[in-house]
Amino acid sequence: MKSDGSNNKKRSFWLDQIERSVNLRWIINWLGLSTGFLYGELDDRLDLRSALQKILKKPVPKHVNFWFCFGGFTFLLFLTNIITGILLLMYYRPTIDQAYDSIVHITNNVPFGWLVRGFHHWAANIMVITVLIHMIRIYFHGAYKHPRDMNWVIGITLLLLIMAFGFTGYLLPWNQVSFWATTIGAEIPSTFPVLGKYFTYLLKGGDSVGQLALTRFFAFHVVILPWITVGLLAMHFLMVRRLGISGPL
């Protein structure tokens, strides 16, 4: 049996969390009410409902099954990471003196910080699995062939972007593992002929991984890669919509 002390500690921890979440619930309620109100007002003027119905009311072909959902699952995980990433940005500090401490602060002190960080971490990892299943589905259905070949190429770029997100995000906590993994990872391009060593230098911003590398990885992780991904996703979805989903086997 656990001692009274640890039970009290546990209870006060949960009470503390609930107490903090009251504010959160208030904020969510308020957002719900105000968007509901806004939606009605906007719909009155812009006729959003029928515009949305045109986009969303499209019958799903009979042959579409569970395996066709993995692109959507990947997108859902990407959205999760955009939202949790923005929340992490409220507390993360991208400097070599403060990055590690800010991550510890998020995990231990910020309300639900551990949860937000956990979601960001797991969504990023599970996304790699769902995107691979998505690719396997497309391969076995032959959906990579003309006229969807360009969408396969966009898909490969999206896969590379997901890996780039993983690589740049790994450095951000600025702990021993991230430092050494990046030191090794950033050396890989230097083995490519002619331009390789310049690319490595560009990534690290010098001879070793330091503040410039952290700044650059941060810029790639939170600004450059997300916007490129959003642009390519828009093209990916537009092509799915215009070409229609591939036919039955």
* Footprint of ligand HEM (CB under 6 A): 68, 70-72, 74-75, 78, 131, 134-135, 137-138, 141, 143-144, 148, 151-152, 155-156, 158-159, 162, 233, 236, 240, 245-246
Q: Would you state the structure tokens that stand for residue 8, as one six-digit string?
A: 């009290």
Nearer to ligand HEM, 177 or 223 (CB): 223
Residues 6+ apart with CB under 8 A from 206: 212, 213
Nearer to ligand HEM, 118 or 244 (CB): 244
CB of 87 to ligand HEM, least distance (A): 21
What is the total residue count of the chain?
Answer: 249
Residue 249: burial class (beta carbons within 10 Å; 0-12, 13-18, 19+): exposed
Q: Would you state the structure tokens that stand for residue 201, as one six-digit string?
A: 């230098």
Nearer to ligand HEM, 96 or 228 (CB): 228
CB of 29 to ligand HEM, least distance (A): 31
Residue 106: burial class (beta carbons within 10 Å; 0-12, 13-18, 19+): buried
CB of 128 to ligand HEM, least distance (A): 10
Closest residue to ligand HEM using C-beta atoms: 155
CB of 237 to ligand HEM, least distance (A): 7
Nearer to ligand HEM, 115 or 154 (CB): 154
Nearer to ligand HEM, 152 or 199 (CB): 152
Is the separation of the CB atoms in 92 and 99 below 8 Å? yes
Longest dimension (CA), the chain: 68
Is the separation of the CB atoms in 132 and 75 below 8 Å? no
CB of 161 to ligand HEM, least distance (A): 7
